Amino acid sequence: MKNSMCYFLDESPLINIFQHNIKHLILTIDIKEFTSLSYIDLGKNLLMRIFNIFLNLIDLDLNQNSIESRLLISIYGLSSMTCYSSNLVNLSISVNTFDDCLCLLDGRLHQLRKLCIVIKKIENSTLTKESLVKQ
C-alpha cells in the first residue's frame, strides 16, 4: 500500500489521466496497513482523496469479498464538502455506524442511485436524536 500511494499524490503525472478517464473503481485495501489509523482518519483521507482525484467517477466499490477483511470507514462528523461527489451513481461501502450511513444520504452524493452498505454497529443514532430535539 505504501508504494502504491505515491501514484495518488498531487504531483504524479498520472493524476491528469485519472482525473477524467476513470469512471469505475474497485478498491481492494489490505486493512493490516491501516492499523494505526482511526476510522475517521480513513474516511477523511481516503474518500476525500478518491473524490478529489477521480472527478468523473460514477461507480465506487470499497467492499471486500471477505467480511473479516472489510475496511470500515467512518464519515460521521465530517463536513459534507470533505466527502462529496457530484457524479457518483453507485457506491458499495462498509461503514462503522448507522450515523455514517445517514451521512452518506444527507445530500453530499446527490446523484447516488444505488447504495450497497455494510454497517458494523446499528444502535441509537445521534443524528436522529438531534433532529428530534430540534423539532
Three-class secondary structure assignment of 75-102: CCCCCCCCCCCCCCCEEEEEEEEHHHHH
Residue 103's pLDDT is what?
Answer: 86
Position 113 scores a pLDDT of 95
Residue spans per domain, the chain = 2-134
Going residue by residue through the chain, which has 135 residues, state the pLDDT in tens, using 9 for 90 and above. 344 444 455 566 777 777 888 999 988 776 666 666 666 677 677 888 888 888 899 999 987 665 566 677 888 777 777 677 889 999 998 888 888 888 888 888 889 999 999 888 887 777 655 554 454
Backbone angles phi, psi at 79, to 5 degrees: -60, 145
Q: What is the pLDDT of residue 28?
A: 78
pLDDT at 132: 42
Provide the greatest CA pair distance for the chain: 51
d(CA 15, CA 100): 28
Q: In 1-135, at which residue ranges do the beta strands (DSSP E only) sit?
A: 24-26, 59-61, 90-97, 114-121
pLDDT at 104: 87
Q: 3-state DSSP call for residue 120?
A: strand
pTM above 0.85, yes or no: no
Name 80's Cβ contacts closer than 8 Å, sequence gap at least 6: 103, 106, 107, 108
